[in-house]
Structure 1
Amino acid sequence: MKHQITLVGGQLLPVFIGIKEFNPDRVYFIVSNESKGGLPQLKSVIKGISFSEHSCNAYDFTSVKNTCEKILDKIDPNEEVSFNLTGGTKVMVLAIQSIIHDRSLPGFYINQDNTFWELPNYTKKAVSYHVTTKEFLEITGHSHYLAKTLQDFDQQDLKIAREIERYASNGKNYSAVTSYFRKHYQDQAIPVSGNKNISNDVSCIWDATKVEIFVKTRRTQSFKSTNVRDLFFYAGWWELLVAEAISKWAKAKEILVKFELPFKHSQLTKKNEIDILINLNNKLIFVECKSGNVKQEDINKMKVIKQTYGGLISKSILVSRYMPSPTIIEKCKELEIEVFFMFGFKNQPGNSFQKLITKLNQLEKRNSL
């Protein structure tokens, strides 16, 4: 029988990875009053493993050591025991290291680069278990969500996204049309079909599969696809082009687009939306896509989403069509949000894609404090 004694701190992900990676039959959670609050949601994700919870004073060496030794004294000496030292306080880690030394028992510490240190010989090895996005969210208590993948968009959608990008880059009519709809409908849903006069010269006619722009009664633009309303009116074209670029990044194991999380007590009400969510094998990257102006509330939302759903190990990046204002860039720097901006995809798109992937590689290698 395999036993695992694991220290529980503020981050539950290394606890979960330690269990999945080493597959114990029984887990003993060493918790404090501050850290035990997250255990119910963690336990709901763990299947087929028995576990027990043991409280101690996280800042008292003797309390931690005595708690663990009482557990060890009840385990058959012929059975396998290991320690997960990744969580908890420094005092808890010191107490476990003392036990490892005294009793010649193994342990491990999970790193942020998808590796772990094997104790007591301090050999570095790769983590083989891959945490799915579903598991990430269940650990944080969010089991319900809506999302799309790139497979939900066809080549016609990509073609239209590029056409909208060219339209947005070549004239003022795009800004006038989108600004009108933003102000006119605000938080209301745009009707499935309609006809609106944007100004004396510009009008827009649309339905479920088509958006057309007229200037002085002459049709100047016609965009047709099954996702055209989202692509045009809600700037989905920019998110789709960014997601397509990210799909060329070999490290991205899962890419989810338009990721929506409802309130736990109201599944019909959207609480947060993530433009693009990247799963990198045990690390999440949250991508906020902005085709226009970036506001302070956009950055504050990114901070909340990262802290709530990804934890310390996760990363955030703002991918903006244009360079954000100096105040936004300063705010992002303070909150450890990476900033990447492009001036459209029409000029050397392949080069723009590669620069974004280079930036993502740099972000992925950067450890959190």
Structure 2
Amino acid sequence: MSDSKYHKTVIINRAVSGSGKTTLSRCVTDALQAKGLTVTIHSTDEFFMQDGRYVFELDKLNAYHVKNLANFTADLKRGIDVVICDNMNLLPWQSQPYTDAARKYHYRIIFLNFLPRELEKHLAAQVVTEEKPDAHGLSKELLERFIQNFHDYNDLLCRSTVRDIRRHRVFVWNDVDKKAMDTGDLAQYFDADAVVTIHPNEYHDLKQTLADKVLKLLVASNEELKRHTSKKHYLLTWYGITDLRAALGLEPTDGPVLAALRTGNYTDVVILGYTNPNKSEEGFSSALRTEWEKLRVEPLETRLAYPRNKAQVMVDAVCNTEAGHTIFRNFIKEARLSVRVKFVPQVLSHLNDARAIDAAARKALHIALSDEDEKDITCFLSPGTPVMAYTWAMVSRMNPNLNLRVIASSDPRKPPEEIDLPKDLVAPPIIVKPTSAPTAFDVIIHLLGTDTNLPQYFSIVQFPAARHYFITSSESRRAELLRPLLPQSTTMETKIVNAFIPLATRKAVAAIIQSLPPTDRIGVNLTGGTKLMFAGGLNASNEFPNAEPFYFDIKQHNITFIRTGVVLPFKGVTTIDGFFIANGYTVSKAGYWQDKLVREERKELTLKLSSKLQLLGRLYQTQEFRAYKTTYWKPNAPFDFQWRNSRATLKGNKATLLLEGEALAVPDCTDFGDYLGGGWLEEYAYLQLRPFLKKGQIFDLRIGVEVFPAGKQQQPGEMPVGEFDCAFTDGKRLFMVECKAGVVKQEHIQKLENNLKTYGGIAAQGILLHAFPLDPKHKERISSSTSIRAVRVNELATDPNLLENILIPNGRR
């Protein structure tokens, strides 16, 4: 030993390829050698180097591992001061031969635990270039597996972790089959005296400081080393609706919070729960609770098949209440993690109550900081609302001295990734100004995602503005779809940013604002884009007093002004065209009632047919009618149907109809076959909805609307991409009515669901108007839908308030 004050030490690097472990190992080696210590590095990868390039050969891997271990052990025998194992060591049994050798020769063991970066950065590090001829060229699939392995076994660095046979299994390499085989055994813990966790955003700083940390550990007493090893790691997070659904057993995943706790090396967690003070605890009634308690013990397949509408009722009843908090706390407790849990309920006046959210975040941080033990602190952005995510980001960057980590996850099935928030992403705290909400702007800046343009369309309707800027990702070209919705005198520009780097959004918003006169009134629509775009956009907005950030709650039809907390109702729209145009379609057939004057002339006949469903059903079952259906849409196609003392004829534009011996007046028309086959039900639907149109409760009621992709020329005879029997808006949502005079099939329901999602977004509503009873399986599917309501024709006669209850729930308007 070069100096008796230093303990002989083995350093085990644990990292996914491309984390920078080899570079940092060299920095540590140089610094230790400068102190007079002898240091060697051993890496199996070195045996694959040929003329400066990395050439991997699977058949030689085991032999090279044996050689590397032999060289490593030889240096232990020689008494080298610090011996470094520079393999990936993702799994306990991969590092065990090296740690066993260290124990044999009485060396301390320090793990340098490099947390993975974003997958894209690991991929970029694999590219072989002139500057990096030794890059490994690993595939995306292999890196994804390595990252998953890292997170799955990461908690085994802590011996207080309860090992899980589902996650902590031992795999061994099978040379014959050339693949990893599951042994069924439970993995052992990593053998470490101390663990130094290296976060991706610390990489550059650690080139200078990591060696100092290692030197302190080399001279530390056993008691000091023990304290370092027992360093705590706090997770600060809200829990959201997906977490609650998981706790109720209605999700196939653990939810974001539990997934993060399972895959992260956390000792403590502070969980914030939104409490709605205006919500009654009685909503989760004894009957509903009993139903849930029966459901929760069912197999996962049964729980996931539970009707969606019933599940939503259950979630709505219990969310944001003490009953919901209790269910979630028990859910975390039943996971049996070795994590201390502190649950903090927080009353919010509304979902985006910025001041209360900020106070809750600071309370959670104070709980962690009041713990006198050494600790790391991580803030989790993903659960909760964008305002909650933004607040965590701001808390982390307004306290740079605390070195708070920030993580986010777009998929609960995968471990969260650390977000590298720039340290200068800091702005003054949100200041509540005693001003009224604006009604117009000179300029509006929109954050635009890839799913829908409706929040931007609503903003254009709500606030007159002379200029619009759209900040979007390089993958999105949706901004141009909004141009037709802007007034002719309005200008627009698009700015491309990386949607997952908040600083990029912040710079783009700030650059736009700085380019404008300081007297301009600027609105910043934060509704679209990712949560990280939201964070960057709100951050930039707070730097400029003339910028007003706002957020659309699409489902509640409200606008929240984030600085003041003022909530205003959405002004609303009075035409359905904008819904289609905003999503990239043009209306190729307007579908106005008056386009066919005969509709009004035969309205009495239409109402009469609605009471003759059994007779029409018999017509639809005749062989003659079924054969005619292939041609009845053609004008002037003659027919003569006779059935059950009834007869229907068409010759030219002359039509007759006899139902059970009663002659009904039919005005001249050429579409009588189309009408008789189901067109009558579309007209009946229109007539039932028209009173709501006249009262101003719905707007722009249409019949037979057709749409075609914007920018494409519809050729003669070319079918539209979308056809809608009836469509209208209540001023805030798009409604579609699918009419079925015959048998309802699975594809009819699927068509309506697809149309609602494609053209109307998450708030769109559909009505399936059907003449005959539904198949039980179709009825079950519709009952589980939150966007479709099935209505049978005879129900409209027996319940005069049925449509009103659908269109105007809870007496709204």
User: In structure 1, what is the Cα distance between the partners aligned to 2:662 and 2:559?
Assistant: 58
Question: Quick one: which of 38, 43, 53 aligns to 2:478?
Answer: 38
Relative to 1, partners in 2 of residues 1:299 and 1:342: Cα closer, same or farther, differing over 3 Å?
closer
| Contact 1:169-1:344 within 8 A present in 2 as well | no
User: In structure 2, what is the Cα distance between the partners aligned to 1:333 and 1:172?
Assistant: 25
Matching residue's letter, 1:140: N
User: In structure 2, what is the Cα distance between the partners aligned to 1:224 and 1:363?
Assistant: 41
Q: Does 1:247 align with 2:690?
A: yes
| Contact 1:5-1:82 within 8 A present in 2 as well | yes
Q: Does 1:270 align with 2:719?
A: yes
User: In structure 1, what is the Cα distance between the partners aligned to 2:459 and 2:793?
Assistant: 43
Q: Does 1:260 align with 2:700?
A: no
Match of 1:56 in 2: 497
User: In structure 1, what is the Cα distance between the partners aligned to 2:572 and 2:616?
Assistant: 49
Q: Secondary structure at the match of 2:769?
A: strand
Relative to 1, partners in 2 of residues 1:27 and 1:181: Cα closer, same or farther, differing over 3 Å?
same
User: In structure 1, what is the Cα distance between the partners aligned to 2:512 and 2:590?
Assistant: 43
Q: Does 1:225 align with 2:672?
A: no
| Contact 1:115-1:125 within 8 A present in 2 as well | yes
| Contact 1:259-1:275 within 8 A present in 2 as well | yes
1:230-251 deviation line (CA, Å, top 9, x unaligned):
6742312222222221222342
1:179-203 deviation line (CA, Å, top 9, x unaligned):
6323334256355253435579875
C-alpha displacement at 1:2, in angstroms? 1.6
Q: Which runs of 5+ in 1 are unaligned?
A: none
C-alpha displacement at 1:102, in angstroms? 3.4
C-alpha displacement at 1:17, in angstroms? 2.2
More strand by share: 1
- 1:58-137 maps to which residues of 2 (within 5 A)? 58-104=499-545, 105-112=547-554, 113-128=556-571, 130=573, 132-137=575-580
Q: Does 1:6 align with 2:446?
A: yes
User: In structure 1, what is the Cα distance between the partners aligned to 2:674 and 2:630?
Assistant: 17
User: In structure 2, what is the Cα distance between the partners aligned to 1:146 and 1:357?
Assistant: 28
Match of 1:284 in 2: 734
| Contact 1:65-1:96 within 8 A present in 2 as well | yes
Q: Secondary structure at the match of 1:270?
A: coil
| Contact 1:30-1:55 within 8 A present in 2 as well | yes
User: In structure 1, what is the Cα distance between the partners aligned to 2:567 and 2:673?
Assistant: 47
1:122-175 deviation line (CA, Å, top 9, x unaligned):
111133352522232222232232243444455541111122233333576433
User: In structure 2, what is the Cα distance between the partners aligned to 1:20 and 1:341?
Assistant: 32
Q: Does 1:194 align with 2:638?
A: yes
Match of 1:296 in 2: 746
User: In structure 1, what is the Cα distance between the partners aligned to 2:493 and 2:579?
Assistant: 22
Match of 1:21 in 2: 462
Match of 1:328 in 2: 778
| Contact 1:157-1:226 within 8 A present in 2 as well | no
User: In structure 2, what is the Cα distance between the partners aligned to 1:363 and 1:95?
Assistant: 38
Q: Which runs of 5+ in 2 are unaligned?
A: 1-440
Match of 1:237 in 2: 680
User: In structure 1, what is the Cα distance between the partners aligned to 2:811 and 2:746?
Assistant: 25
Match of 1:360 in 2: 807
Q: Secondary structure at the match of 1:282?
A: coil
1:199-230 deviation line (CA, Å, top 9, x unaligned):
79875422324233488xxx654441245716
| Contact 1:317-1:339 within 8 A present in 2 as well | yes
User: In structure 2, what is the Cα distance between the partners aligned to 1:297 and 1:246?
Assistant: 25
| Contact 1:5-1:84 within 8 A present in 2 as well | yes
Relative to 1, partners in 2 of residues 1:357 and 1:187: Cα closer, same or farther, differing over 3 Å?
farther
C-alpha displacement at 1:45, in angstroms? 3.0
Matching residue's letter, 2:575: T
Higher relative contact order (CA 8 A, sep 6+): 1
- Higher alpha-carbon deviation: 130-139 or 88-97: 130-139
Q: Secondary structure at the match of 1:48?
A: coil
User: In structure 2, what is the Cα distance between the partners aligned to 1:86 and 1:117?
Assistant: 10
| Contact 2:586-2:708 within 8 A present in 1 as well | no
TM-score normalised by structure 1 residue count:
0.84
Match of 2:369 in 1: none
C-alpha displacement at 1:288, in angstroms? 0.6
Q: Secondary structure at the match of 1:166?
A: coil
Q: How many residues align?
A: 357
- Higher alpha-carbon deviation: 240-249 or 129-138: 129-138
User: In structure 1, what is the Cα distance between the partners aligned to 2:626 and 2:581?
Assistant: 34
| Contact 1:246-1:357 within 8 A present in 2 as well | no
- 1:114-193 maps to which residues of 2 (within 5 A)? 114-128=557-571, 130=573, 132-151=575-594, 152=597, 156-169=601-614, 173-176=618-621, 180-186=624-630, 189-190=633-634, 192=636
C-alpha displacement at 1:294, in angstroms? 0.4
User: In structure 1, what is the Cα distance between the partners aligned to 2:517 and 2:677?
Assistant: 61
User: In structure 2, what is the Cα distance between the partners aligned to 1:3 and 1:167?
Assistant: 58
User: In structure 1, what is the Cα distance between the partners aligned to 2:739 and 2:453?
Assistant: 28
Q: Secondary structure at the match of 2:471?
A: strand
- Higher alpha-carbon deviation: 254-263 or 269-278: 254-263
C-alpha displacement at 1:277, in angstroms? 0.2
| Contact 1:140-1:308 within 8 A present in 2 as well | yes
Matching residue's letter, 2:497: C
User: In structure 2, what is the Cα distance between the partners aligned to 1:204 and 1:319?
Assistant: 24
| Contact 2:771-2:793 within 8 A present in 1 as well | yes
Match of 2:273 in 1: none
Relative to 1, partners in 2 of residues 1:333 and 1:243: Cα closer, same or farther, differing over 3 Å?
same
Matching residue's letter, 1:361: I
User: In structure 2, what is the Cα distance between the partners aligned to 1:235 and 1:285?
Assistant: 20
- Higher alpha-carbon deviation: 18-27 or 354-363: 354-363
Relative to 1, partners in 2 of residues 1:295 and 1:313: Cα closer, same or farther, differing over 3 Å?
same
User: In structure 2, what is the Cα distance between the partners aligned to 1:222 and 1:360?
Assistant: 33
Q: Does 1:313 align with 2:754?
A: no
User: In structure 2, what is the Cα distance between the partners aligned to 1:165 and 1:312?
Assistant: 32
C-alpha displacement at 1:285, in angstroms? 0.6
**Identical counterparts, % of pairs:** 18
